[in-house]
Amino acid sequence: MPRARRKIRFGIIGLGLMGRELASATARWCHLLDLDFEPEITAICDTNPALFSWFEDNFDTIRVRSSDYRDLLDSSEVDAIYCAVPHNLHAQLYRDIIAAGKHLLGEKPFGIDLRANEEILDAVNAHPNVVVACSSEFPFFPAAQRIMRYITENRFGTIIEVETGLLHSSDLDPNKKINWKRMIELNGEYGCMGDLGMHALHIPLRAGWMPDNVRALLTNIVTQRPNANGDMIPCLTWDNAMLACEVNTGEQSFPLTIKTYRIAPGETNTWYVRILGTKFSVEFSTKYPKTLRIMDYESGREQAWQSIDLGYETAYPAITGGIFEFGFSDSLLQMWAAFCDQLANGREGMRQPFYCATPEETHQHHQVLTAALESGKRGHVVPVAQPRPIG
């Protein structure tokens, strides 16, 4: 007889690229060891019912299917929601989900703009018993987990600089068809920053490195794209953004450089972090998913970088042997486990310390992106507003 685990009954709203990924992570729950909680997909929703069949073919636990998300919110078969819909819908859906008392793992950027994000935060404040978190999976890579540990241990000495980013390249093709992520009204004025910024900012914000100010260089490189009929139409979203930020921790200040590029030739979902310090430096990129580079330094010693091949060294132990390597879908499974753990045991009772991105962190990231947008338009350094208190 399988051991009884607490079931967390999930509804998925938005059955596209990410909706399937999270469902697949649920199907792979047996990969994880010794957990006393388990997600179960009981409800699905998309305005395109053609997407139901993949879910129904693969999950016999689905009891509610609808093209109206409110049916999931009204259902007693649903405890929590994973929501992955276009950005223009985040504010309304996330608020409604939270107000219905359903726990929420929502996709980034958690609101199409700062105002939408603050509306979501108001709902979070009004419903303190609802667990709300934002999806951001890259920090669950083993090397990123090590980096978080080095940050907690304060290993770096004086920080010289920090660089983070997320790079894509498929938009280099001018004939790639336009989709909602390249339309301001659906994706948001932030463009690539709204799409990729939370990924790049999650570790700096968790480290407490909220920038004081930002100078942003924003570029729209491919200004027209074919629509579904092949007609060329304007493509007005920012393709690439480079943010030069100043971080002041009270003890020291240092530059934080963030790149969110949709047109970085040759790069396929390359997420990276580089922290240079006077005593210790570290570097990781998903381009080399198992390789962590570190450099210890003491006065008079040779400056030599070391490369460590990390195996499957995960926040939540899994069946995969430590000699094997980790990938994108593994990071989603680990993030999913962290959200379910927080839901089952509360943040303080989690099996490991790294919790998913918080609503407060999404607000901080909106403050940075809003200032970056203004900086890009005006060509000036713009102060980053400090987030309003939550709760």
Neighbours of 374 (CB within 10 A): 14
Query: Which of 108, 127, 259, 363: binder of ligand NAD (CB under 6 A)?
Result: 108
Is residue 267 part of the contact set for ligand NAD (CB under 6 A)?
no
CB distance 280 to 150 below 8 Å: yes
Q: Which long-range contacts (CB under 8 A, 24 or more apart) does 49-54 make?
A: 51/15, 51/16, 51/19, 52/15, 54/15, 54/20
Is residue 69 part of the contact set for ligand NAD (CB under 6 A)?
yes
Q: What SS3 state is found at 284?
A: strand
Query: Which of 38, 46, 341, 361: binder of ligand NAD (CB under 6 A)?
Result: 46
Is residue 356 part of the contact set for ligand NAD (CB under 6 A)?
no
Residue 260's φ and ψ, nearest 5 degrees, are: -120, 100
Neighbours of 148 (CB within 10 A): 19
* Contacting range for ligand NAD; rule: CB under 6 A; set: 79-87, 170-178, 211-219, 347-355: 79-87
Question: In whole angstroms, how close is the CB of 300 to ligand NAD at the nearest point?
Answer: 44
Nearest residue (CB) to ligand NAD, 48 versus 224: 48
Token code pair at residue 281:
């430096």
* Contacting range for ligand NAD; rule: CB under 6 A; set: 7-15, 72-80, 274-282, 307-315: 7-15
Per-residue CA distances from 208 to 201, 247, 272 (Å): 11, 9, 18
Is residue 195 part of the contact set for ligand NAD (CB under 6 A)?
yes
Is residue 186 part of the contact set for ligand NAD (CB under 6 A)?
no
Instruction: Give dist(CA 330, CA 26) in Å, integer.
Output: 11
Question: In whole angstroms, how close is the CB of 186 to ligand NAD at the nearest point?
Answer: 9
Query: Which of 4, 17, 50, 228: binder of ligand NAD (CB under 6 A)?
Result: 17
Query: Which of 29, 61, 65, 89: binder of ligand NAD (CB under 6 A)?
Result: 89
Q: What SS3 state is found at 375?
A: helix
Is residue 111 part of the contact set for ligand NAD (CB under 6 A)?
no
CB distance 317 to 33 below 8 Å: yes
SS (H, E, C) 8-46: EEEEEECCCHHHHHHHHHHHCHHHECCCCEEEEEEEEEC
Is residue 15 part of the contact set for ligand NAD (CB under 6 A)?
yes
* 101 torsion bin: left (phi>0), alpha (psi -120 to 50), beta (else): left
CB distance 147 to 275 below 8 Å: yes
Is residue 276 part of the contact set for ligand NAD (CB under 6 A)?
no
Question: In whole angstroms, how close is the CB of 40 to ligand NAD at the nearest point?
Answer: 20
Query: Which of 8, 10, 12, 13: binder of ligand NAD (CB under 6 A)?
Result: 13
Is residue 105 part of the contact set for ligand NAD (CB under 6 A)?
no
Query: Which of 135, 281, 285, 358: binder of ligand NAD (CB under 6 A)?
Result: 135
Nearest residue (CB) to ligand NAD, 281 versus 364: 364
> Which residues would be at the binding site for ligand NAD (CB under 6 A)?
13-18, 45-48, 51, 69, 84-87, 89, 107-108, 135, 137, 195
